[in-house]
Amino acid sequence: MSSTDAPVAAPSRPLVGATASWLATAIGIPLYGLIALGCALAAAPLANALAPDTAGMEGLAMFVAVAIVNVLIAVIGVPVIAHTLGRWVFARTSHASTRAASRGFAVMGALLAVPLVVFIALGQSLHAVGGLYAALAIGVPCGVTAGLTRAILPWVAATPARRGWVGAIGAAGLFAVVWWAIVVLFGPGF
C-alpha cells in the first residue's frame, strides 16, 4: 500500500472567533430559555412559602421582574456575552480540557448574574426572599447555561449537519422566548 492509497481525513477547522460565538449563541438561547423557565418554576413555591404574606401585586412584581430579566438575558445577554467576553474566555480556555473550560464558563455566567440578582433583591420589600428567588431563577441558569454551552460546543461544531440543526433550534428558541415574553407580559389574548 503506497502513501497515495491511505485514507486522508478532511482537515478540521479550528473552532475560533465568530464561528464559536455564533454557535454558542445558537446553543445558549434555547438552553437558557429552558433552564431559566425550569428554575423559575421550581423556585416559585419556595419563594411563596418563605413569604406567604406577599400575595397580590407585591409578590407578582418579583416574578414579573425575574421573567423580564430572563427574557432580556436570553435575547440580548446571551448573544452579547457570546460575542464579547465569551470570545475572550474561549481563547483563554481553548487549550484546557472541556471539563475545565466548562467550569470556567460556568463561573463566568454565574458572576455576570450577580448584579442582576442584587438589583432584583433590592427592589423587593423582603430582600432575602427576592435575592434567593433571583439567585435560583437567574443566577443558576446563567452559570449552568454557560457551562453546558461550552461543554457541548465542540460536539456541535464537529459536523456541518449538527451546526445546521443547532442554528435552526437556536432560531426557533429565540422565537419561542420572544413569544413566551409577549404572552407573559401581555396575556394570552394580547
Chain segment 130-139, per-residue pLDDT in tens:
899 999 999 9
**pLDDT at site 188:** 66
Task: Indicate whether 79 pLDDT > 90.
Answer: yes
Return the percentage of the chain with pLDDT > 90, whole number. Answer: 48
**pLDDT at site 159:** 87
Task: Indicate whether 148 pLDDT > 50.
Answer: yes
**pLDDT at site 125:** 83
Q: Kindly report the average pLDDT of the chain as a whole number.
A: 86
**pLDDT at site 5:** 62
**pLDDT at site 10:** 45
**pLDDT at site 180:** 78
pLDDT class of 28 with cuts at 50, 70, 90? very high
Task: Indicate whether 116 pLDDT > 60.
Answer: yes
**pLDDT at site 189:** 63
Task: Indicate whether 183 pLDDT > 90.
Answer: no
Which amino acid belongs to residue 179? W
**pLDDT at site 14:** 64
Give the integer Cα–Cα distance in Å for 142 and 168.
Answer: 22
Residue 75 cell numbers, joined: 435575547
- CA triple 11-161-108, angle to 5 deg: 85
Task: Indicate whether 11 pLDDT > 70.
Answer: no
pLDDT class of 4 with cuts at 50, 70, 90? low
**pLDDT at site 30:** 92
Return the percentage of the chain with pLDDT > 70, whole number. Answer: 87
